Amino acid sequence: MKQDASLQQVGESFLIEMHNQATTLSSQSNGLVNINLWFEEYITKVEYFSHREQIETLVKVINDYATDKVSLNVLQWYLETQFAIHKEKEFFEGLKLSNTECMKQYSEKSQASPKISVIITTYNRKQFLKQAVNSVLKQNYSNKEIIIIDDCSTDGTEFLVQKYFGNDDQRVIYMRNKVNCGPGANRRRAFAAHADGTYIHFLDDDDYLIDPDYYTKAIHFHEKYPQISFVAANVFMEHTDTQKLVISDLGLNELIPRYQYFINFEQAGFPKPISTLTTIFKRQALIDMGILEMNMVNDASIYLRSLLVGDAGFIDCLAGVYRIHSNNITFHLSGDFIIENLKEKMAIRNTAIKDHGYNAQEMNKWFDENAYGTISYYLSNSAKSYRDYKYMYEWVKKHSPKGYSLLKKKHNKIYIKRQLLRLSIVRKLLKK
């Protein structure tokens, strides 16, 4: 990320003033340097106010570092990436609590080092892929392998992999499709062909890890809580258009019971982790939940199926970066993709009732809410024409009448507003 000089100057000035205040403010919150006490005073300065959002995020990162929720590596990475500022460890010593135990319990190395298989699906994103792979290789956890499955890229991805991660690196396995199959099918294919690790990490090619100790923390968490299917953490959202890094904080409990998370998934208080960027799954849980029989191995479906066979875990730390850019798959979803997604959720509903004893009435309500949420997201972000709307309406009317009535009430108005806006733009263009 490129940053302007003014942002660098603001960040540097803020850090110096913060450092100078550290001693006088260290008596707050059991020794925590509560920089929020003087933050509002300094943020009103003109040079700070123009970069308020970035400084607010910096305050959050430093406070999390002080309580051991953020590692020094992540703090330094954030300063260098967002502000183009480098500071040595000694600069932050006065900010650290002497009795922080939050992350220490997960950072201890296990006696055994079970293998992690990392599956990276990629398609025409060689400009991002190299960073994703390197972020895994930089993990301090030694027993890992990376399986890159290339979905018939045409941008030279194969040559990039050979050049940087070829025969000399036995930790990287490269697979290439003859035809384009889509990320969901590719995850299943790579899993079946090579992923024999005790733990599995599905990493998208445009995302990357920033905490080199994260795998160690995640495996230790799994060993501490063997009943979980997966563990996840917080991430930075990197907005490539504005060059801003924003924290996505899940705010989940350390352990979430499977039924509670499943039935409330993506509802208030139970957010879905961002992609599968920081999520380390137990391989046996993926087998038990039927990953090899899934038609669409996307993130929501993996989470929901995994919650049928185990609890969920959450580590309150910043571990990775999720890029938001114009080529995100999220913004270019097809109607067929959405329908396949909903068919998978229908299968999950049926499995929950048949094999796990979930209440049928409750699960039908659950599916109605999921159908509404999924299609609503598609119509708001990816639908382009009346045909897209009609396709969704016809499907949901047949399979979820309650979801259908909610969708029509909300999205008919949105569609009309869009058409009026387009008509207004066309009229203005014709007048020029």
Q: Do 119 and 46 fall within a single domain?
A: no
> Residue 382 belongs to what domain range?
333-431
What is the tens place of the pLDDT at every residue in 91-141?
887 676 544 454 555 555 555 699 999 999 999 999 999 999 999 999 999
User: Cα angle vertex 100, ends 143, 98, to 5°?
Assistant: 125
Question: What tokens appear for 372 in the block?
Answer: 């509404």
Q: Do 168 and 276 fall within a single domain?
A: yes
Q: Do 317 and 283 fall within a single domain?
A: yes
Out of 270, 301, 324, a domain closes at: 324
Question: For the domain that residue 124 is a member of, what is the CATH number?
Answer: 3.90.550.10
Indicate left, alpha or beta for 128 from its phi (over 0: left) and psi (-120 to 50: alpha).
alpha
Q: Do 282 and 213 fall within a single domain?
A: yes
| E strands present in 306-430 | 311-324
Q: Do 170 and 265 fall within a single domain?
A: yes
pLDDT over threshold 50, residue 30: no
Out of 82, 102, 122, a domain closes at: 102
Q: Do 89 and 118 fall within a single domain?
A: no
- Number of structural domains found in the chain: 3
34 residue type, one letter: N
Q: Do 340 and 412 fall within a single domain?
A: yes
- pLDDT at residue 295 in the model: 84
Ranges 148-162, 296-310, 418-432: which has the least confidence: 418-432
Q: Do 289 and 426 fall within a single domain?
A: no
Q: Do 155 and 29 fall within a single domain?
A: no
Q: What is the pTM of this model?
A: 0.89
Q: Do 72 and 194 fall within a single domain?
A: no
What is the tens place of the pLDDT at every residue in 233-289?
999 999 988 889 999 999 999 999 999 999 999 999 999 999 999 999 999 999 999
Q: Do 206 and 183 fall within a single domain?
A: yes
Q: 3-class DSSP state for residue 349?
A: helix
Q: Do 147 and 79 fall within a single domain?
A: no
Out of 81, 102, 123, a domain closes at: 102
